[in-house]
Amino acid sequence: MTVLLDVRNLETRFKVRKGYVYAVNGVSFQLQAGETLGVVGESGCGKTVTMLSLLRLLPPAARIENGRALFEGQDLLQINRRQLRKVRGAQIGMIFQDPMTSLNPVVNIGLQMSEPLVYHRGMNMPQALQRSAELLEMAGIPDGQARLRDYPYQLSGGMRQRVMIAMALACQPKILIADEPTTALDVTIQAQIVELVKELRDELGAAIVWITHDLGVIAGLAERVMVMYAGFVVEEAAVDDLYDDPRHPYTVALLNSLPSVSETKGHRLASIGGSPPDLSARPHFCPFLPRCRYAIDKCQTENPPLRPAPGVDAPRHRIACWVDVQERGQT
Amino acid sequence: MNRSNGAVLMQVESLTKHFPVQLGAFGEHAATVHALDGVSFDIHKGETMGLVGESGCGKSTAGLTILQLHRPTAGKVYYQDMDLTQLKEKQLRPIRQKMQIIFQDPYSTLNPRMTIGGAIAEPIRVHNLAPQGRIQARVEELLQDVGLNPIYVNRYPHEFSGGQRQRICIARALACEPEFIVCDEPVSALDVSIQAQIINLLEDLQEKYGLTYLFIAHDLAVVRHICDHVAVMYLGRLAEMAPKDKLFESPLHPYTQALLSAVPVPNPRQERKRQRIVLTGDVPSAINPPSGCRFHPRCPLASEPCAKVDPEWHQVEPGHWVACHTDS
């Protein structure tokens, strides 16, 4: 397996009226070719900002303070705008959460879809339209040729998300970043979209980064999962290891707090006390400390780095925690 | 709570709500949205009734119409043997105190210019539930009930997080000392870790005050956890209704089966093995709903009569109702 994308120590912060918001605080991860990586976390944990930073699609108030993102020998955070445009859409495609606001409402589907094909692949307009129609059918929209003349408002939410997926895959990117693509959709439509992405992944072999807050969606889709909290990666593991043997107190609590559709637990949900963290100061202690059941003295003075989980065979199971939850859980 | 030991609190009988679609400057009547079509169910005292379905299926309209916040087009809603649909606004006022609602979005339901103490005190004043001198104490008591520190009483909504705001909305609903609360997607705007807190709070309050809930949600896992009875809606009609374990273990309606099979489970091994019933297409428009069974264009089991004849809403076994041709 070759490493396709290597992100090291990424830091992004936002300038606000009273100082800064520390959104991403030193995120490092690797993405292998053809692999599906799930990124899980609550709102405001920095999962979207991390991915937007890679493509430098951040709003003006945000600045990347530190880090490297190596993709095919070039650092995405350093290359100039012209080089970056060759990567966006061509090598790395992106699907956003809300298909209504990410499609241009006054341009028809055909024209929007042809744009990347003309720009990146040098097709002429008839070729691009022809290809767009094929892509729409591949994404499960019947009679793609006729849909090219439609405007986004004429399509339903699920259809629009299919258009977004077809568009993101138009140039056969090596990486597809999907930012909560099913959150705005109903469960039955979500199931359709997830099935579609699985099929296309097997067909095209693109690596996928799937951002979500739903631990259920990611379970059947991802090979590896990264859990984020307060702008830090707190746990990273193969999907089976993460669900069977979670090691970070936050992951443990998150999995326990989920109500289940397949069984009645009949007892209270194990909720996580407190509220999500305030990001206006960079913590010098563990960011999960105020809500953690297992905290020890060391947690108050030092922020734990991401390191291999103690006592785990899986080589790539890493956590950012001083405490061995497994050991403490038994005592 | 068991169905046998609770008396019927709310009785909904073929409740129907159509909205006109108007066109142009003079508002010509262009079409009708069939948001709710002949929905009937009982809610027993002290139980939690769940109402699930996809967006646009009319579940929120059902909640609002039961509370007479929308006046129904047809049908009846009985509360303590009174037909609410026949009462005038003035006669409804004292009854409204007993029926409250918690909305989905705690950001837009609180007045940003009112302190939370003011917001909670308002219903107490309107309904004269405490003498002037006792109001402050009552507000503090309510804040404690929902797990907020009473020192926050003079703060404004923007100073609170989403979960805390939802607690404030709950406190305001409780201020009226209600019997019945419609919870309209109360946790779907909240983060996973906060969801569990609010669900636990709702359960605690139900136990403490003997409340009855109508819990409207699209998240089936949450519904399974909190509800006693569940009704599944599709395009303005009820598809199936049963005690929750019945509904989740042995669903009869193909829509319920598909809905349950679409819910992702946080267990990778199980997920990979699962055989999904993936429905094709989208929910049709409620302006021009399909003939016969409204689910037939997407139904994997649809046969000839489904497109022509409305399936009858019938009881299969005590408490388990379904509207489908396939099992009769």
Q: What is the pLDDT of residues A316-331, one digit of tens each?
A: 899 999 988 777 664 4
Measured between beta carbons, the chain A residues lying within 8 angstroms of B225 are 259-260, 264-265, 269
Please give the pLDDT value at position B271.
85
Q: Which of A159, A194, A271 sits opposite B196 (nearest CB)?
A: A271
Measured between beta carbons, the chain A residues lying within 8 angstroms of B268 are 219-220, 239-240, 243
B300 in contact with A, Cβ within 8 Å: no
Q: Which B positions 154-173 lie with beta carbon below 8 A of chain A?
A: 161, 163-164
Q: How confident is the model at residue B107 (pLDDT cuts 50, 70, 90)?
A: confident
Please give the pLDDT value at position A104.
92
Please give the pLDDT value at position B105.
85
Please give the pLDDT value at position B3.
46
* Average pLDDT, integer, range A234-239: 94
Q: How confident is the model at residue A313 (pLDDT cuts 50, 70, 90)?
A: confident
The residue type found at B47 is E
When mean pLDDT is compared across A183-187, B195-199, B233-237, the lowest value belongs to A183-187
B286 in contact with A, Cβ within 8 Å: no
Please give the pLDDT value at position B153.
93
pLDDT for B6 beyond 80: no
Q: Which long-range contacts (CB under 8 A, 24 or more apart) does B15-22 make?
A: B15/B39, B15/B40, B15/B62, B15/B65, B15/B66, B15/B72, B15/B74, B15/B75, B15/B76, B15/B77, B16/B72, B16/B73, B16/B74, B16/B75, B17/B58, B17/B61, B17/B65, B17/B70, B17/B72, B17/B73, B18/B73, B21/B287
Distance CA B122, CA B142 (A): 13
Nearest CA in chain B to A42: B191
Distance CA B75, CA B58 (A): 15
Q: How many residues does chain A have?
A: 331
Nearest CA in chain B to A245: B267
Measured between beta carbons, the chain A residues lying within 8 angstroms of B221 are 216, 258-261
CA of A255, closest CA in chain B: separation in Å? 8
Q: How confident is the model at residue B80 (pLDDT cuts 50, 70, 90)?
A: confident
Q: Which of B194, B260, B278 sits opposite A261 (nearest CB)?
A: B260
Interface test with chain A among B1, B52, B55, B192, by most A beta carbons within 10 Å = B192
Average pLDDT, chain B: 90
pLDDT for B102 beyond 90: yes
Residue of A71, A92, A52 lying closest to A174 (CA atoms): A92
Which carries the bigger pLDDT value, residue A282 or residue A62?
A: A62
Please give the pLDDT value at position A331.
41
Which carries the bigger pLDDT value, residue A22 or residue B28?
A: A22
Assessment of whether the complete model's pTM goes beyond 0.95: no
Please give the pLDDT value at position A204.
87
When mean pLDDT is compared across A211-215, B249-253, B275-279, the lowest value belongs to B275-279
Distance CA B323, CA B240 (A): 6
Nearest CA in chain A to B54: A186
Which carries the bigger pLDDT value, residue B225 or residue B280?
A: B225
Please give the pLDDT value at position A328.
67
Sheet containing A62-71, strands listed edge to edge, beginning at the edge strand earlier in sequence: A19-32, A3-16, A62-71, A74-75
CA of B272, closest CA in chain A: separation in Å? 5
Please give the pLDDT value at position B283.
81
Q: How confident is the model at residue A225 (pLDDT cuts 50, 70, 90)?
A: very high
Instruction: Mark yes or no for CB contact B191/A254 under 8 Å.
Output: no
Express as a percent the part of chain B with pLDDT over 90: 68
Which carries the bigger pLDDT value, residue A99 or residue A16?
A: A16
Please give the pLDDT value at position B1.
40
Which carries the bigger pLDDT value, residue B282 or residue A205?
A: A205
Q: How confident is the model at residue B155 (pLDDT cuts 50, 70, 90)?
A: very high
**Residue B318, exposed/middle/buried by CB under 10 A (0-12, 13-18, 19+)?**
exposed
Phi, psi of B318 (to 5 degrees): -50, 120
Measured between beta carbons, the chain B residues lying within 8 angstroms of A188 are 54, 258-259, 262, 278-279
pLDDT for B183 beyond 90: yes
Please give the pLDDT value at position A30.
94
CA of B114, closest CA in chain A: separation in Å? 23
Q: How confident is the model at residue B4 (pLDDT cuts 50, 70, 90)?
A: very low
Could you report the per-residue pLDDT of B265-278, keeping only the tens digit for each? 888 888 888 888 88
Average pLDDT, chain A: 89
Give Cα A25 distance to the centre of its chain: 16
Instruction: Mark yes or no for CB contact A190/B264 under 8 Å.
Output: yes
Please give the pLDDT value at position B327.
64
Instruction: Mark yes or no for CB contact B221/A272 under 8 Å.
Output: no
Please give the pLDDT value at position B138.
95
pLDDT for B218 beyond 70: yes
Measured between beta carbons, the chain B residues lying within 8 angstroms of A219 are 264-268, 270-271
pLDDT for B149 beyond 50: yes
Please give the pLDDT value at position A269.
81
Please give the pLDDT value at position A265.
55
Could you report the per-residue pLDDT of A58-90, keeping only the tens digit for each? 999 999 999 999 998 899 999 999 999 999 989
Q: How confident is the model at residue B194 (pLDDT cuts 50, 70, 90)?
A: confident
Return the C-alpha torsion angle A40, A44, A45, A47, nearest 10.
Answer: 60
pLDDT for B304 beyond 60: yes
**Residue B116, exposed/middle/buried by CB under 10 A (0-12, 13-18, 19+)?**
buried
* Average pLDDT, integer, range A165-174: 91
Which carries the bigger pLDDT value, residue A271 or residue A104?
A: A104
User: Backbone dihedral region of B39: left (phi > 0), alpha (psi from -120 to 50 degrees) or beta?
Assistant: beta
